[in-house]
Structure 1
Amino acid sequence: MTVPERWKDGLESDTPPAPYPTDGTDFQGAVRYHHRVALKRFLKFFPVFLLLWVQLFVLHLDYLLPVGIVGMFGMVWTLFLLAGRLSLARKCSKVFRTYPLEFRTPVEKYGMESTHTLYVRFGDQTGTPFTLRAKDALGRGRWPVGITDGVWFAGDEPFGGAFIVPGGGEMLFLQPRDWAETEKYRKDAGPERVEKANRAGIKRPARLK
């Protein structure tokens, strides 16, 4: 479901300044930080759901069955969230290790969906701009503050990439919004760019849910 246009610019995150440099010099700090936050969020909730589930087998009380079911689904959900966040962080890390970070400005807020998906365009492009689907590595579904002023981008737009937002340090993984529609640009990229995209893990579309 698409977020109404009148909300698009107002939905901004309140992320505090990042505890690592966000000037394009320390992508490893960004990756480590996102791994730590993902694990902290997991450990905040998973033990609670685990306790709800385990007590059903310890106490053997039938009326605790609904509580046990909540615990079971809660554990599955938190594991699912952890796996997704760690996967996105790894994807970003692979891109950063393959491509240099370059400052790109301005960034256009092209759209937003309720599935925690942002759509952006880089305003310094020549020719037809690529609309890129962006997913925050921690699952945040709001616009990073100051994103329109520019980001530190690594990648190749027909294939995708990743970027870090100065200030808040949000880390997002990118790929073209319509993969099939941009196929002609990838075919014209040449073997060197294709090989580089393959090393970065962006030669093929990723499942960004």
Structure 2
Amino acid sequence: MSESRPGRAPETVDVEQVMKENYLALAKLLASRLTVVAVLVVVPMALNRAGSSASFFLTLPLVAAMFVFILTAYRLWAGVRLSQCRKVLNHYPLEFHTRVVKKSSHWTDYGNVFEVKISTRGEHGAPLMKAINATGRRRWPEGTENGAWVSGDLAFGGVMIVPGSNAVLFLNPADWDKLAARREQAGAERVARAEQAGINKRNWRKPVLLWGG
């Protein structure tokens, strides 16, 4: 993908390739976590078989392994939103927005939640959105200074894809109630589309974005 100039859209992203890259990133994250769990379980068992007496120091890694496994499972359940992003991308086209400004970042147990303004130069009234990396990564993706691709309806929510890194972020209005009037004026077609994409409610099947924030 070629570099983009501020205010100009880069080449259109290949959604299938982007999703493939993000599923691969998720698989790598899981593999690294499960490797840690395996080491914490295997090492004390091997030492015990080698003749080391059972002790607190042999039990401690097993407790740590259980903790890491539970935390990994929780982050998968609460923070990973690739399937939700796929649903949005199936119902909305990608549109390029020339300005993406990160306002703040909140640490949560399942990933960092960012507050962002997504707008187009020359336009006003962009709503403040919350964004979470769909693969559970915590860091803010590079490349947003030149804009990003957005799929969805910002009065309801959507998906942001960052050119270059191809990071996928799930979007939710920062103040759902504040945008109620916009949704009420959206019309039956927009509301039905949001329902089909699964962004018609404040909270989806996963916990509220601001837990821990």
Question: How far apart are 1:196 and its partner, in Å?
Answer: 0.4
Q: C-alpha root-mean-square deviation of aligned residues, in Å?
A: 2.5
Alignment match of 1:81 (pick from 75, 85, 93): 75
Q: For residue 34 of structure 2, what is the aligned residue in structure 1? A: 46
Aligned residue identity for 1:29: Q
Please show how residues 47-66 of structure 1 align to structure 2 within 5 Å: 47-53=35-41, 59=48, 61-63=54-56, 64-66=58-60
Once the two structures are overlaid, the 10-residue window that deviates more, 60-69 or 49-58, is 49-58
- Normalised to the residue count of structure 1, the TM-score between the two structures is 0.79
Q: For residue 90 of structure 2, what is the aligned residue in structure 1? A: 97
Query: What whole-Å deviation, never above 9, does each CA across 1:63-96 have from its counterpart, x for those lacking one?
Result: 32222111111111122233445x4111111111
SS of the residue corresponding to residue 81 of structure 2 reads helix
Question: How far apart are 1:162 and its partner, in Å?
Answer: 0.3
Contact preservation (8 Å) 2:99, 2:146:
yes
Contact preservation (8 Å) 2:13, 2:163:
no
Aligned residue identity for 1:41: L
Question: How far apart are 1:159 and its partner, in Å?
Answer: 0.2
Query: What whole-Å deviation, never above 9, does each CA across 1:113-135 have from its counterpart, x for those lacking one?
Result: 23412111123275532101011
Q: Which consecutive residues of structure 2, in runs of 5 or more, have no partner in the other structure?
A: 4-9
- Normalised to the residue count of structure 2, the TM-score between the two structures is 0.77
Q: Give, in whole Å, the separation in 2 of the partners of 1:74 and 1:193.
A: 42
Q: Give, in whole Å, the separation in 1 of the partners of 2:45 and 2:139.
A: 40
Q: Give, in whole Å, the separation in 1 of the partners of 2:12 and 2:89.
A: 10
Q: For residue 121 of structure 1, what is the aligned residue in structure 2? A: 117
Q: For residue 99 of structure 2, what is the aligned residue in structure 1? A: 106
1:149 lines up with 2:146 in the alignment: yes
Q: Give, in whole Å, the separation in 1 of the partners of 2:11 and 2:134.
A: 18
Once the two structures are overlaid, the 10-residue window that deviates more, 56-65 or 109-118, is 56-65
Question: How far apart are 1:32 and its partner, in Å?
Answer: 1.6
Q: For residue 12 of structure 1, what is the aligned residue in structure 2? A: none
Runs of 4+ residues over 6 Å off in structure 1: 54-58
Indicate the structure (1 or 2) with the bigger Cα radius of gyration. 2
Q: For residue 3 of structure 1, what is the aligned residue in structure 2? A: none
Q: Kindly tell me the number of residue pairs found equivalent between the two proteins.
A: 188
Q: Give, in whole Å, the separation in 1 of the partners of 2:105 and 2:33.
A: 28
Q: Give, in whole Å, the separation in 2 of the partners of 1:48 and 1:148.
A: 35
Q: Which consecutive residues of structure 1, in runs of 5 or more, have no partner in the other structure?
A: 1-16
The alignment-based identity, stated in percent, is: 31
Once the two structures are overlaid, the 10-residue window that deviates more, 127-136 or 107-116, is 107-116
Question: How far apart are 1:144 and its partner, in Å?
Answer: 2.5
Q: Give, in whole Å, the separation in 1 of the partners of 2:124 and 2:13.
A: 30
Q: Give, in whole Å, the separation in 2 of the partners of 1:51 and 1:187.
A: 54
Contact preservation (8 Å) 2:113, 2:132:
yes
